[in-house]
Amino acid sequence: MVSDKIKLTPQNAPHRALYHALGLTEEEISRPLVGIVSSYNEIVPGHMNIDKIVDAVKLGVAMAGGTPIVFPAIAVCDGIAMGHVGMKYSLVTRDLIADSTEAMALAHGFDALVMVPNCDKNVPGLLMAAARLNLPTVFVSGGPMLAGHVDGCKTSFSSISEAVGEFNAGKITEEKLREYELKTCPSCGSCSGMYTANSMNCLTEVLGMGLRGNGTIPAVYSARIELAKHAGMAVMDMVKRDIRPRDIMTEGAFRNALTVDMALGCSTNSMLHLPAIAHECGIEIDLDIANSISEKTPNLCHLAPAGRTYVEDLDEAGGVYAIMHELNKKGLLNTDCMTVTGKTVGENIANTPNLDPDVIRPIENPYSETGGIAVLKGNLAPEGSVVKRSAVLPEMLRHEGPARVFQCEEDAQAAINAGKINPGDVVVIRYEGPKGGPGMREMLNPTSAIMGMGLGSSVALITDGRFSGATRGACIGHVSPEAASGGPIGIVREGDIISIDIPGNKLELKIDEQEYQRRMAEFSPKEKPLSGYLKRYAALVSSGAKGAVLN
């Protein structure tokens, strides 16, 4: 065991003295030391119940013969950070989480880890750390929030975001807006739709790093406490069998994750996080792979914001394994991949039928024959851009319109709120990429305002930033290279015609080639004064097309 190096010999007496200072007994010191990485805090709704999950994990580890020891991980609530400088500090925490977990795990000689994340950057950050450390590791999340209810209909965080746009357009009263405010988020947990947190937690199951139900059992259900105990037991079995993250997160596992991503209609942020996690495993994922997988993967789910079903409904329908069971009917998964259960994917999903065809479409009757996410390329995005195709209205799958150009999110939001965006426009928000933001802010407020004001069927938005999983509509993010790196999005002028062809995977600036080359030759990206962590991050971060990993 790793910890034996610091606890067995007479020379390790000083280490043991400090273990005794923690109140550990000789029996506890002699057992495998299991780090429980807790992202509990009192500011993120998805994390306020994690203390109970951690206690259950500890019990599971102890029951299986290990010694559980808790240490923390940070987490930012994207909803609270949205629309102001705080959002610059969301994506950047992914690397802080991975780095600090690496430091804590190696500095203290842990033999294994149980990761207890829940929200957007917390899950991929800890997956990156797991890959980097390669110690036996299991994931168990805090679980999804229950859906809210307004006027007899289920609601989620995107509902309140779009309600603000409806209020600004005079479509609802302040009293109705207040009702959405009070009823949209009724419990702790990660927001109830297929947003980034729930997307990534579901994908832990597909990657083989989480037990069944990790992505879907609601936060407030007692079944999640049971799941946490089983996660603690499972990691001890992994220690005994020497099963490690890089045995699990293979190239085949990442292809499985992309396949289920397409079927489930996950957040576009998965196209940032999966390449970054794979990178830590020594596996490079090209965005072109996403389109090739999408071409043969049917979209089976329309959870919010794409539809009117929620993660709680997915859980009742059989969860992630039921989706995998459907996909496996056409041989779309690599079923030989190992998982934290000690069994293969094929063994795990063998008897997991689809219990509700209204939530999970049978593979013979999909929403579409192609996947929920598309990667668009063209002279406006030579390295690629990403759109959640399953959440785009049919009439906006192809669109041409004049560019309305903004240098930051705030300027675009002000124009939308003031009624200055017209049907047919293509809103362009630049200098919001990983380097230019810095931090690649999510654009939920502008996209929700467009939808709430009734412009979703006629207005598109493109950005070198990114979108919340709660975003719906013809919203194309991750445009790469970004403006701050000299990308073509930086040469777009007010009124230029932009062509969007989602079925054709194209994003084009409709100017002649000579003018395009002249503008590119003359283009000099603007620079922002930076300090602190954001300055370091901007200097090190790569393109969004490469997962915004740090070089």
The owner of tokens 């851009």 is: 385
Look up residue 26 and give its amino acid.
E
Structure tokens at 231: 């996660």
pLDDT score, position 393: 94
Q: How many residues are listed for the chain in this entry? A: 551
pLDDT score, position 275: 96
Catalytic choice (38, 90, 100, 468): 468
Q: C-alpha distances in angstroms, 249 versus 135, 176, 203? A: 13, 46, 11
Residues with pLDDT less than 50, the chain = none
pLDDT score, position 165: 87
pLDDT score, position 58: 98
Pairing of strands 398-406, 426-429: parallel
pLDDT score, position 40: 98
| 468 among known catalytic residues | yes
The residues facing 381 across adjacent strands are 378
Closest alpha carbon to 268 in 161, 373, 409 = 373
The owner of tokens 């357009």 is: 169
For residue 84, give the DSSP letter: S
Q: Render 134-179 in DSSP notation, one character per residue.
A: ---EEE----BPPPEEETTEEE-HHHHHHHHHHHHTTSS-HHHHHH
The residues facing 387 across adjacent strands are 374, 476
Q: Render 189-221 in DSSP notation, one character per residue.
A: SB-SSS-HHHHHHHHHHHHTSB-TTTTTS-TTS
For residue 4, give the DSSP letter: G
CB contact set of 404 (below 8 Å; sequence gap of 6+): 412, 415, 420, 421, 425, 426, 427, 428, 494
pLDDT score, position 336: 98
Residues 415-456 pLDDT 10s: 999 999 999 999 999 999 999 999 999 998 999 999 989 999
The owner of tokens 């999640």 is: 224
Closest alpha carbon to 385 in 468, 470, 291, 451 = 291
Closest alpha carbon to 262 in 337, 191, 199 = 199
CB contact set of 286 (below 8 Å; sequence gap of 6+): none
